Amino acid sequence: MNALERVRNEIIDLHDFFTEWFNGTVDRNQLEPRFLSRLDKNVAFIPPDGRVVGGDGLKVSFQKGYGSNSEFRIQIRHVKIRHRAGDTVLATYTEWQRGAVHSAKANNARVTSVWMEIGPPVRWLHIHETLLPEAIRAADPFDF
């Protein structure tokens, strides 16, 4: 498997877990092995509102969100590796969310930049999300 396939599979697998988590269809004991264990101890997550959230903040947020949104769906599109140095990559992808009751818009889309070590093991080092403009969101379907 080449680096792009590894990165794409990692991103999709993690977001599939997010869907299962917020839908409440996965056991609660899966938070650590399927999500938190992938994060670097110094991870920084920057959501569209610009806050900087570390690993502890992500853990608390996810614990509170378990099973909170049975209609939530995510689709990952346009995964690209922008830079690579050994096993460290900077990748971008778009994340399309449908039924996101905890977001400003239930149907939203964002472009995400992620800096990760593709190991093994995979380590997410830095994640930054920015909402896509309305014109781009309107041009692509939310029928997933």
Inform me whether the pLDDT recorded for 116 exceeds 90. Answer: yes
Domain ranges of the chain: 3-139
CATH class of the domain whose range is 3-139:
alpha beta
CB 134 within 8 A of CB 26: no
At 110, the amino acid letter reads: R
Mean pLDDT for the stretch of residues 55-61: 98
pLDDT value for 101: 87
Inform me whether the pLDDT recorded for 90 exceeds 90. Answer: yes
Is residue 1 very low, low, confident or very high in pLDDT (cuts 50, 70, 90)? confident
Inform me whether the pLDDT recorded for 104 exceeds 90. Answer: no
Is residue 76 very low, low, confident or very high in pLDDT (cuts 50, 70, 90)? very high
Alpha helices in 24-98 (DSSP H): 31-34, 55-65
pLDDT value for 69: 95
Alpha helices in 25-119 (DSSP H): 31-34, 55-65
Residue of 8, 2, 5, 7 whose CA lies nearest to 89: 7
Inform me whether the pLDDT recorded for 105 exceeds 90. Answer: no
Mean pLDDT for the stretch of residues 116-138: 95
Please tell me the pTM assigned to this model.
0.95
